[in-house]
Amino acid sequence: MAIKREVFIKIKKHMPKKCWGMYVSYKYKKIMGKKCNLKNPRTYTEKIQWSKINRNDPMISRLSDKVAVRSWVEEKIGGEYLIPTIGKAYSSADDIDYDSLPDSFVIKANHGSGLNVVVDDKKEISFDDIKDKANSWLKQNFAYNSFEMQYKDIRPQIYIEKNLLEDCEGDLPDYKFFCFGGKVYCLYVMIDTYPIHTNAKLGIFDKNFNLLPYYRADFTPITKQIEKPANYSKMIEIAEKLSEGFSHVRVDLYNVNGKIYFGEMTFSTGSGLFKHVPEEFDEILGNQWDLESGI
């Protein structure tokens, strides 16, 4: 299976650009069960497919780099919103001095999605296993999984962050603000994200933090209104500041005991290969996205 995947990735790397649309349309039809209208995209997930192959601004690539984005965030809103890092960024996991690391940390790669390991107690894990996994990340070009081309030219690096779970009471809610033209329209809130992210619960909330009657088919839905963070208005302010100038970007934030942390900027949520329930929300969200209103 791994060999077949490597061969398929190699084929996609050499695929001419005129064929990218054919591939994303094929994958969309296979996963979503319906045709993708790339010529006149209307729904949110269709517009993501369009943007993956047509939205080629270097700034999007820079901000998709989880190491490079930090300096930009510091310029825009200040370094106090950045999750503290431990040491420098590494081009190989073999260069990390594991003995000098704290007992708890998070190791991540900068050039894709889902490339991370949360370590609660380093005495209970195998450094060799983590090293092998981290080095395997560095061999991937995440762009060619499904043509999220903002990742293509990012130089792969490994970096280590403070484990925010240390300061939480068992959970670290993830607030994902969907911004269009520099304004928040709605957000995903994800809870129970640890230790298995795919087992998390997800709720869709409007800008005023009211639970909406929509959910993602691939996550257990949040079915009851949850408490709004006390400094929620500040989170809105930060998300809108960071999303200025972009036709669409998702700004992810954490809120730990009132302390707001920047998570990441996401330009192709779920690669646009997921279903909202009811399906109408895909079109509602797509209506917010004017593809010509910014980068």
Q: For residues 135 and 159, what is the distance between their CA atoms, to the nearest angstrom?
A: 12
Q: Is 11's pLDDT higher than 50?
A: yes
- State how far Cα 238 lies from the chain centre: 17
What pLDDT is recorded for position 193? 83
What pLDDT is recorded for position 230? 94
Report the chain's terminal Cα–Cα distance, integer Å: 38
The backbone torsions φ and ψ at residue 84, rounded to the nearest 5 degrees and listed phi first, read -55, 135
Q: Is residue 245 part of a domain?
A: yes
Q: Is residue 176 part of a domain?
A: yes
Q: Is residue 53 part of a domain?
A: no
Between the CA of residue 101 and those of 28, 104, 114, 120, what are the distances in Å?
A: 42, 8, 22, 12
What pLDDT is recorded for position 81? 98
Q: Is 3's pLDDT higher than 70?
A: no
Q: What is the CA radius of gyration of the chain?
A: 19
- State how far Cα 76 lies from the chain centre: 20
Domain that holds residue 239: 166-266
What pLDDT is recorded for position 4? 64
Q: Is residue 87 part of a domain?
A: no
Question: What is the average per-residue pLDDT within 267-278?
Answer: 98
Answer yes or no: are the C-beta atoms of 225 and 213 closer than 8 Å. no
Q: What is the pLDDT of residues 23-68, one digit of tens each?
A: 999 999 999 999 999 999 999 999 999 999 999 899 999 999 999 9
What pLDDT is recorded for position 194? 78
- State how far Cα 282 lies from the chain centre: 18
Q: Is residue 189 part of a domain?
A: yes
What pLDDT is recorded for position 170? 73
Answer yes or no: are the C-beta atoms of 134 and 152 closer than 8 Å. no
Would you mind telling me the total number of residues written for the chain in this entry? 295
Q: Is 258's pLDDT higher than 70?
A: yes
Question: What is the average per-residue pLDDT within 264-271?
Answer: 98
| More confident: 132 or 193 | 132
Strands 174-180 and 201-206: unpaired
What pLDDT is recorded for position 49? 98
- State how far Cα 274 lies from the chain centre: 14
Question: What is the average per-residue pLDDT within 192-209?
Answer: 88
Count the Cβ atoms, other than its own, within 10 Å of residue 79: 12
Structure tokens at 95: 């260069």
What pLDDT is recorded for position 106? 96
- Where are the alpha helices (H) located in the chain, listed in sequence order? 2-13, 20-32, 44-54, 58-64, 69-77, 127-138, 143-146, 232-242, 280-287
Please name every residue paired with 180 in a beta bridge, in sequence order, or none if there are none: 183, 248
The CATH number of whichever domain residue 197 belongs to comes to: 3.30.470
Q: Is residue 121 part of a domain?
A: no
Question: Mean pLDDT in the chain?
Answer: 94
Question: What is the average per-residue pLDDT within 3-29?
Answer: 83
Question: What is the average per-residue pLDDT within 97-118?
Answer: 95
Q: Is residue 181 part of a domain?
A: yes
Q: Into how many domains does the chain fold?
A: 1
Contact partners, residue 76, CB within 8 Å, separation at least 6: 241, 242
Contact partners, residue 29, CB within 8 Å, separation at least 6: 35, 36
Percent of the chain, pLDDT > 90?
86
Q: Is 1's pLDDT higher than 50?
A: no
Answer yes or no: are the C-beta atoms of 64 and 52 closer than 8 Å. no
Q: For residues 247 and 168, what is the distance between their CA atoms, to the nearest angstrom?
A: 34
Q: Is 80's pLDDT higher than 50?
A: yes
Question: What is the average per-residue pLDDT within 82-87?
Answer: 97
